[in-house]
């Protein structure tokens, strides 16, 4: 259900030092990712395999910054009656269909990083990643399409260790 993320056992949550040492020149990449707090909100990543195009994220987004386009396709081999069409009762049942994602884009120039989409997704297809250095010279490049959202998945950290007294997740 969670798409293969390992169970809790990541690095313990710790806060970054209060004052970074003054640098001669500002580091281009910023802080290394493991010095950021757990669950830092930097960018949103999409795991397309989990997405069923329910569109709850696009509907719940307060800024209307998630753009989804999709269509429906018949599922091959799922005709009523299975492999033997002769067994399909005449006049009843319908072809099973599935949703296919054509376009999934998040406009990060509008996004306010509230996380409602990540929480609303019932299939855990959206994840937080702490990456924050993705400034652009053209504002159109701040709309990240499917390919780029998948690349952010490689930067999603494992879930942080359970806090004391917290019940483990059911799945």
Partner 1 sequence: MAAVDLPLPGVAGRPGTGPGPGVITVDAGGACSLRVFDAGLACCGVEVAAALRRSGALAAATAGNQLNVFVVAGTVTDKLAPYVLEAFQDTPLPRRVLSFGACANSGGPYWDSYCVTKGVDQFIPVDVYVPGCPPRPEALLAGLALVLRAGD
Partner 2 sequence: MTPEEIIAAVSGGLPPEVRCEADHRGAALRVPPGHWLAALAFAHDRLDCDFFDWLTGVDEEDEGFSVVVHVYSLAGRHHVLLVAPLPRSAPRLPTATGIYRGAAWHERETHEMFGIGFDGHPHLVPLLLPDGFEGHPLRKDFVLAARAAKEWPGVKEPAARALPRTRRPGPPHVPRGWGP
- Residues in contact with partner 1 by the rule CB under 8 A: 19-20, 22-31, 42, 62-63, 107-113, 132-139, 142
Subset of residues 67 to 86 that bind partner 2, contact rule: CB under 8 A: 67-72
In the bound state with partner 2, the residue whose beta carbon lies nearer, of 65 and 153, is: 65
Do 43 and 132 contact (CB within 8 A), yes or no?
A: yes
CA 32 to chain centre: 22
- Cβ of residue 67: shortest distance to partner 2, in angstroms? 5
99 binds partner 2 (CB under 8 A): yes
Query: What is the DSSP code string of 52-107?
Result: ----HHHHH-TT--EEEEEEEEEPTT-STTTT-GGGSPTT-----EEEEEEEEEEE
123 binds partner 2 (CB under 8 A): no
Binder of partner 2 out of 8, 58, 118, 161 (CB under 8 A): 58
- Cβ of residue 11: shortest distance to partner 2, in angstroms? 36
What residue 95 binds from partner 2, partner 1, none (CB within 5 to 8 A, per partner kind)?
Answer: none
Do 3 and 47 contact (CB within 8 A), yes or no?
A: yes
Span interacting with partner 2, options 20-28, 32-40, 60-68, 157-165, rule CB under 8 A: 60-68
Span interacting with partner 2, options 20-28, 51-59, 121-129, 149-157, rule CB under 8 A: 51-59
44 binds partner 2 (CB under 8 A): no
Do 160 and 11 contact (CB within 8 A), yes or no?
A: yes
Q: What is the C-alpha to C-alpha distance for residues 116 and 53, in angstroms, rounded to an integer?
A: 16
Q: What is the C-alpha to C-alpha distance for residues 171 and 148, in angstroms, rounded to an integer?
A: 28
Residue 14 belongs to what H/E stretch?
A: none
Structure tokens at 43: 């960018």
Binding positions for partner 2, rule: CB under 8 A: 53, 55, 58-59, 61, 64-72, 97, 99-100
């Amino acid at each position: 259900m969670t798409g293969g993320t390992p169970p809790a056992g990541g690095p313990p949550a710790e806060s970054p030092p209060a004052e970074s040492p003054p640098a001669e020149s500002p580091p281009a990449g910023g802080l290394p990712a493991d010095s950021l707090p757990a669950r830092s909100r930097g960018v949103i990543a999409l795991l397309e395999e989990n997405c069923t195009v329910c569109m709850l994220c696009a509907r719940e987004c307060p800024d209307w910054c998630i753009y989804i386009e999709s269509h429906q396709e018949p599922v091959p081999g799922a005709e009523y009656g299975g492999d033997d069409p002769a067994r399909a009762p005449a006049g009843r049942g319908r072809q099973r269909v599935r949703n296919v994602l054509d376009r999934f884009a998040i406009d990060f120039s509008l996004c306010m990083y509230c996380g409602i989409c990540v929480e609303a997704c019932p299939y855990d297809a959206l994840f937080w990643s702490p990456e924050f250095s993705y400034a652009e010279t053209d504002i159109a490049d701040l709309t990240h399409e499917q390919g780029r959202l998948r690349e952010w998945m490689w930067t999603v950290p494992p879930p942080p260790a359970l806090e004391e007294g917290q019940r483990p997740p059911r799945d």
